[in-house]
Structures are given as structure tokens and as C-alpha cells.
Amino acid sequence: MTLDEFRATLAAPQPPTELPPALAALWRDAKGDWEGAHNLAQADEGGDGDWVHAYLHRKEGDVGNAGYWYRRAGKPVARTSLAQEWDELATTLLAERT
């Protein structure tokens, strides 16, 4: 699935069932469901969810907690816009599925 195809799924009321938790979390975030996104990212602890978890706390404005999750994910703290980080996350996670 490409980023454009992933974005197209946002017109649906539910995420595609084949999405792994981290991508489903990004999907929910894009739909304005921060809490649902957070629950999915938190459930994927130790995996790609750690990076999504960091992004979500950064979006929330909880910089300290975001920093913790970036370290857990082995990623530098993002300095780009939230939209750019969302695109990077989605692109990277979609590429991992191929």
C-alpha cells in the first residue's frame, strides 16, 4: 500500500483490518481519534508503536514523555512539523510491510 492509498482509506469509517497496530494508530490519529491512536500505539510497545507513541505525545504537547518514547524507539526527537512526521511514519511503516 502506498501513502496515497493509505490516505484514501481515511474516507472509510474504520481502518483496513489488515493494518498492523502502529499503522492503525496513525489512521485513527488522522481521523482525530487521539485516544484510540494512543491505545493502539501503547499496545504495540516494543515495536513500531513506540515511534507512533512518541509522535502522539509530541502532538499532545507532552515533550518529556515524547522524548522517553523516541529513546525507546531508537529515533531522534522529531524537529519537523507534525504533518511531516506523520508522513514519515506512515511511509516508513508502509514500506516495512512490502
pLDDT digits (tens, 9 = 90+) for 25-80: 999 999 999 999 999 999 998 889 999 999 999 999 999 999 999 999 999 999 99
pTM of the model: 0.94
Inform me whether the pLDDT recorded for 98 exceeds 80.
no
Amino acid letter, 46: G
Q: How far is CA 57 from the centre of its chain?
A: 11
Torsion of CA 39, 66, 69, 27, to 10 degrees: 40
Inform me whether the pLDDT recorded for 94 exceeds 90.
yes
Q: How far is CA 7 from the centre of its chain?
A: 13
Distance, CA of 13 to CA of 73 (rounded, Å): 29
Q: Which helix (H) or strand (E) holds 43?
A: helix 34-43
Q: Which helix (H) or strand (E) holds 32?
A: none
Q: Which SS3 state, helix, strand or coil, does residue 49 take? A: helix
Q: Residues 66, 76: contact at Cβ < 8 Å?
A: no
